[in-house]
A and B are shown apart, each in its own frame.
Chain A
Amino acid sequence: MAITSEGLGRHPAPETDPMQPVPFRVLRRKRETHDTFSLVLKPPSAPGPFSFAPGQFNMVNVFGMGEVPISMSGHSGEVREIVHTIRVVGPVTQTLNRVRAGGTVGIRGPFGTAWPVGAAEGHDVVMVAGGIGLAPIRPAIYHVLDHREKYGKVAILYGARTPQDILFLREIESWRARFDVEVEVTVDRASRDWHGLVGVVPGLIPRAHFDPGNTVAFVCGPEMMITFAVRELARSGVPAQETYVALERNMKCAIGLCGHCQLGPLFLCKDGPVLRYDQVVDLLRIREL
């Protein structure tokens, strides 16, 4: 089964002016790791309920400073709260890290394509995430687990840099406690007091249990990790046509106008971030892109 681009759940552009940030109130801030936090935001009641599909992103704006593209990391659909999980890497994210409950941030979105969770029904699903890449894939995990009966075997494979960098640790433990999903976590390096797996996340793929001829794979993380993970999936028998990746570039306008996020003929803000791997594999091999 090759899912067509329609299966990527592309949502219509926001009804409001897509370039106009809308103020969202900060309900909660949660520290996730030493450099990563989540903001829980309340959308305004007008112009209507906020709705997004797993894998889509918002432009999160600190008024007067700038904005950054951040994927939604909470439950998808029509929601009363949205969650953004953010790693502190620059001035905007540093400022967002200081926002507290009651504060306001600007939001434009949702934008981009989504994980094809609907088209993957009836198939085994392997979700591979590395580092902060667990956040954009978490809405897809929620969807699959909430509709567990519609899928075959489900595997969640996650890799982090060290044990201290593991995101959503308690939630991962709760997924692992289920009997209907395979969850494996590995870290790139660890001292002796870590009793879990050590190694890179693509190395978990050969150990996972799925039928490669009936599997859809979602991969999210640093591009180099994606490359290795897709290679390992292919070795296991999952073709590129059944493998979906989330790619990032320098998203600015988020509506496919400015070209900052261009990858060859694609605008990743509009044509991505979720793309079928066979549609981008040749582009990713071109260094200049």
Chain B
Amino acid sequence: MESLDRILAEIPLFRGMKEEHLALIAGCASNVRFEAGEFAAHHGEPADEFLVLRQGRMALEIHAPGRGTVTIQTLGDNEVLGWSWLLPPHEWHFDARALTLTRALKLDGRCLRGKFEHDPELGYEMMRRFAQVIVRRLEVMGLQLLDVYGDH
């Protein structure tokens, strides 16, 4: 069976990381699966982990009173779900629902934060990589907000 640090090394988020860092991260990782329709996260609930989707598709949803549930983004293979684990108050900002059978790596946020305290280089590396994830996500939302296909 492939070890988790080998699997991590193939995932774009972790690509190029030092082997000792991958081993530390692997110690906080586990395999999870979600059936279609199953929720991986609920808005407002503690966000003590993030997911890297390995296979399948998840929808990020927001429930807006009077407007129902709106899907704001879908995520697929190798994409990262969640950054609330990084910063207090560590709560999910949206719902995450599996659209198909989804297999993912779950990374325990508490475990990782503990390792960052002891290894600031690892912490910096992960923060740098998550900053890119956040920037990409903000770009997507910015373009959505611009409503470029609308009537102008």
Contact = CB atoms under 8 A, between A and B. Distances in A.
Interface in B124-150: 136, 139-140, 143-144, 146-150
A286 interface: no
B147 A161 contact: yes
Interface residues of A, number: 29
A225 B139 CA distance: 11
B69 interface: yes
Of B77, B140, B148, most buried by chain A (CB within 10 Å of CB) is: B148
B15 to A, nearest CB: 13
Contacts of B77: 207
Interface residues of B, number: 24
A100 to B, nearest CB: 25
Interface stretch (A55-63, A78-86, A169-177, A189-197): A189-197
Contact of B61 (A161, A192, A195, A200): A192
B74 interface: yes
Given A191-B69, A198-B74, A207-B76, A224 B148 contact: yes
Contacts of A224: 143, 146, 148
A69 interface: no
Contact of B148 (A189, A197, A225): A225
A90 to B, nearest CB: 11
Nearest to A223: B148
A191 B149 contact: no
Interface of A: 89, 130-132, 159-161, 165, 186, 188-192, 194-200, 202-203, 207, 221-222, 224-225, 228
Interface of B: 57, 59, 61, 68-74, 76-77, 99, 136, 139-140, 143-144, 146-151
